[in-house]
Amino acid sequence: MNENKKEKTKKTKKSLKTRFNETIEWCEQHKDILMVGVPLVATSIVAVTKFGGKLLNTYNAKTLQDRYIYDRSLGHYWRLKRPLSNNQMLLISKRRNEGEALCDILASMKVLK
């Protein structure tokens, strides 16, 4: 069993070495294509990564904004079952202006998780 594993390891190393050498030979033969292609591909990858990162950050911020509401008086975030509708947000604002605590409002609306 151990010998079989050693043989597989040798085969794998040999195959990787030959593929590596073939790749180097191909690169040497096609330098003109690589001079144009590599910068183009690299800049494309950077642009896609940058755009994807911004998109992900925006999505995460929106998700947090929809799922949590901040109580300034307590300095505490309240986790919601679902995003609040515009009517619910107006009702919360109205009741906050009347002096009611945010935690009590959310509890009475049954939106806390």
pLDDT digits (tens, 9 = 90+) for 2-23: 678 888 999 999 999 999 999 9
N-terminal to C-terminal alpha carbon distance within the chain: 56
Please, are residues 1 and 9 in contact by the beta-carbon 8 Å criterion? no
Q: Give the pLDDT score at 105.
A: 92
Cβ-based neighbour number of residue 65 at 10 Å: 11
Q: Give the pLDDT score at 1.
A: 60
Residue pLDDT, tens place only, 70-98: 888 888 889 999 888 999 999 999 999 99
d(CA 113, CA 104): 14
Measured in residues, the chain has a length of 113
d(CA 106, CA 111): 6
Q: What's the mean per-residue pLDDT of the chain?
A: 90
Angle, helices 86-97 vs 102-109, to 10°: value is: 140
- Largest Cα separation within the chain, whole Å, is 81
Range with lowest mean pLDDT among 36-50, 61-75, 85-99: 61-75
